[in-house]
Structure formats: structure tokens, C-alpha cells
Amino acid sequence: MQILPPGQYHEYEAFVGAHPNGGITQSVLWHGVKDNWGREVVVSRDSSGVIIGGVSVLIRRLPPFGTSMLYSPRGPVCDLHNADVLIDLKKGIDEIAGRYNAHIYKTDPDIPRADRRFAAIAKGMGFQNNLGGDGFETIQARFNYRLYIEGRSEEELLANMVQKTRYNVRVAQKHGVEVKVAGKDALDDFTRLMRVTGERDGFSVRPKSYFEKMLDCLGEHCRLYMAYYDGKAVSGAITTNYAGKACYIYGASDNAHRNVMSNYLIQWEMIRWAVRTGCAVYDFQGVSGNLSEGHPLYGLYRFKKGFNGTLDELAGEFDFIYMPLRAKLTDKAIALAERIRNS
């Protein structure tokens, strides 16, 4: 085990970018996006010194409570059935927890709920598994809708869509909707569309500065797509492309001109980017696990389902509690602050 100094992060980055369990939130590039968190990187090496496991740990100091929360989004990166590597990485996390007086370490690996082998290893290491609910109660969505594209052509993927979705892609094309890969100069339009979408669907919206950080810090691994109709921005999306995975992170659309189906065409163009860069999967990200048609989030699922992918249920969050009482009090205080903010 080694806690890497920043001067060696390039070695970890090369490992994560090439590993089948690698992902953008475990990249050191993500540190720049989350620049309000501290960060450390732990690696495990084999007998010849080659990295065989790694994990990026974000650190959120909580001054009112005198402790810190450690979090590894979609980590660690390794063979998640290799108990020796997982235990080795945990030693580094424990050392970091001591440095920062952490009351909890949280991670949410990209692993199916049905994978009981990993769950058993984690339990044996002292982790508690938090499934959360059917919606978006956990930090990362537990139900993700994914399109597995490896070895499939654009023509095959288009033909495989649900008929209505394929029709809507063509409606947008027939209406002359133009989808462009945009730069930061389009962020005013994108942020405006995000505000419109947030008001319509009832969620809070990140500021323009956050999207600027994403584009700046993630570089070639992140794109802003904008769709225009009659010269006006009508929808936009941000997607990442890293370690063989394209992930649809943010999407927004205007209330006007919804009949031109720009959201469908923008998704198709992002899928095409994933195919052309050799990705194995295009991840539409979170949906609700409640698939009843009367559920408030059913429309989101229906939209993504039209591209004829797969609904993956993940294993949820795994927490290691260093200070049980402090963790309980901190959780209650944070929940109260959330209720006050949303009241």
C-alpha cells in the first residue's frame, strides 16, 4: 500500500484510465471539479511494484463537528473480488482517516446488487451496506439505465431503438435541429436551459461556474452538446467519456419547441461519440427503481428506455464508521439543515 504524493498521480491516472472498473469520478481530473474537497490517492502494488488497485479519496472537512467525511465516488478501481487488494487499499484509507479525523468513509462501487461475493468481502472488512430507496436517496444513483454498445455499429444501435424513439430522432432531423459540440461560450444558454428545466422538474441547479470547471478540468473527456432550432438554443447536455464509458451527466431543455424532439437527437449524437471512441457502454445514469407508470419519475425512465438498453441495479453505498456516535449526530445535523433549506 502507498498513499501517493501528487507528483506520482500520473501513474495512478494511467492505471485508472485503462482499467475496466475505471471511471471519471475516480480520475485525478475529478479533483479539479471537486476543488472544494480535499483529496488523497491510495494504491496497492504487486511484488514487482506495478499498481493493481487504486482509489481516489475525497475529503470533506466539517468544521462545526470537528471531523471529516471521506468519500470515493464509484471506487475503488481494482478487481472487486480480490480481498487482498481491497484490504490493502483499506489500510491506506484508515491512515487518511486518522490524518483528517474522519468519522466515516463512504464508497459506492459500480457493482451489481446481485454480486454477493463483493458484499461478503465488504461485510467481512466491517463495512455497512446502505441500499437507500428506489429513487435518488444515495449520493450516486443506485438504478442506472445503460446502453451496452461494444461491438455494435451506429446502424445497429439506431435500428435497435424502440420505434417511437427512432421516429423522434428523425423528427428532429427533419425539423432541421442542429446539434453542435459547444465551448464555454455556450454556457450562458446551457445554464439558462438548466434553470428552466429545474423549475419545471423541481430540482436545484448548479451555477455556471461548476460547468466551466467540468469543461476546463476534464478537457477532452468532457463535452457540452447544444441543440439549436431556428438559431435558438433549445436543449443541451454534458457528457463524459473516460475509460471506455460515456456518461450522460446533465441535460436541459426549453419549454418552447418541445415538438421538434431535440432531446432525442442530442442523445443520439452523444451515443455516436461513444461508439466512435470505442466505448463499451453509454450510461444514461440514474432512474427510479419504481417502474410503475404513475410514479413521478416514470417519464425519465420511459425516455431513456426508448434507446433499448438495460436497467442495472447497483449495490448501493458501503460505509465504514470510525466514530459511531459522531457519525450519527453529524447525519442528524445534516438532515436537519437539508430540511430547513428545503422548507
Going residue by residue through the chain (343 aa), what tens digit of pLDDT does each one get?
Answer: 999 999 999 999 999 999 999 999 999 999 999 999 999 999 999 999 999 999 999 999 998 878 999 999 999 999 999 999 999 999 999 999 999 999 999 999 999 999 999 999 999 999 999 998 887 889 999 999 999 999 999 999 999 999 999 999 999 999 999 999 999 999 999 999 999 999 998 888 999 999 999 999 999 999 999 999 999 999 999 999 999 999 999 999 999 999 999 999 999 999 999 999 999 999 999 999 999 999 999 999 999 999 999 999 999 999 999 998 877 777 777 665 555 554 4
Q: How far apart are CA 42 and CA 119, in angstroms?
A: 21
| Cα–Cα separations (whole angstroms), residue 137 to 87, 175, 263, 287, 292 | 28, 38, 26, 11, 18
Q: What is the pLDDT of residue 82?
A: 98
Given a contact cutoff of 8 angstroms between Cβ atoms, the answer to whether 316 and 142 are in contact is: yes
Question: Domains in the chain and their CATH numbers?
Answer: 2-134+314-342 (3.40.630.30), 144-313 (3.40.630.30)
Q: Annotate 125-150 with DSSP letters as a single string.
A: TT-EEE---SSS-SSS-SEEEEEE-T
Between β-strands 51-62 and 38-45, what pairing exists: parallel, antiparallel or unpaired?
Answer: antiparallel
- Its pTM stands at 0.94
Give the CA count within 13 Å in the CB-facing half-sphere of 186.
23
Residue 21 burial (CB < 10 Å; 0-12/13-18/19+)?
A: buried
What are 186-189's contacts with CB under 8 Å, separation 24+? 186/224, 186/226, 186/233, 186/236, 187/211, 187/212, 187/215, 187/224, 189/226, 189/233, 189/236
